[in-house]
Amino acid sequence: MFRPKYPEAPTSTTVYTPAPAVQHSNAPACSCQHAPAAAPARQTPLLGSTARTVGAVLAVGVVVTALLAAVVVTAISVAVAAVVMRSLLTSQRHR
């Protein structure tokens, strides 16, 4: 349920072959620099699942907070009921 789904890698039959480097035959002292072509940027699969992860963490946090609030309200009501019962019982003993 909380496992990320990664996109499938594209399957292509074409093979990428880089262009051969330019060689200067008539100028032995070439001052220009030939850099290889930059590879295309790849999108990381974590970007899509980050929003889902944050949403799941927030949902779990809300549920845990609600449960904790329910426990606190129950504890307070039991404490108030105990104080009232004690007060009623002690007032009957003094009569």
Q: Regarding predicted confidence, which is higher, 52 or 19? A: 52
What is the pTM assigned to this prediction?
Answer: 0.43
Question: The dihedral of CA 62, 65, 70, 71: what is its sign?
Answer: positive
pLDDT, mean over the chain: 78
pLDDT digits (tens, 9 = 90+) for 16-35: 666 766 665 655 556 666 66
Phi then psi for residue 50, to 5 deg, are -65, -40
Q: Can you list the positions of beta strands (E) in 1-95?
A: none
Q: Regarding predicted confidence, which is higher, 29 or 58? A: 58
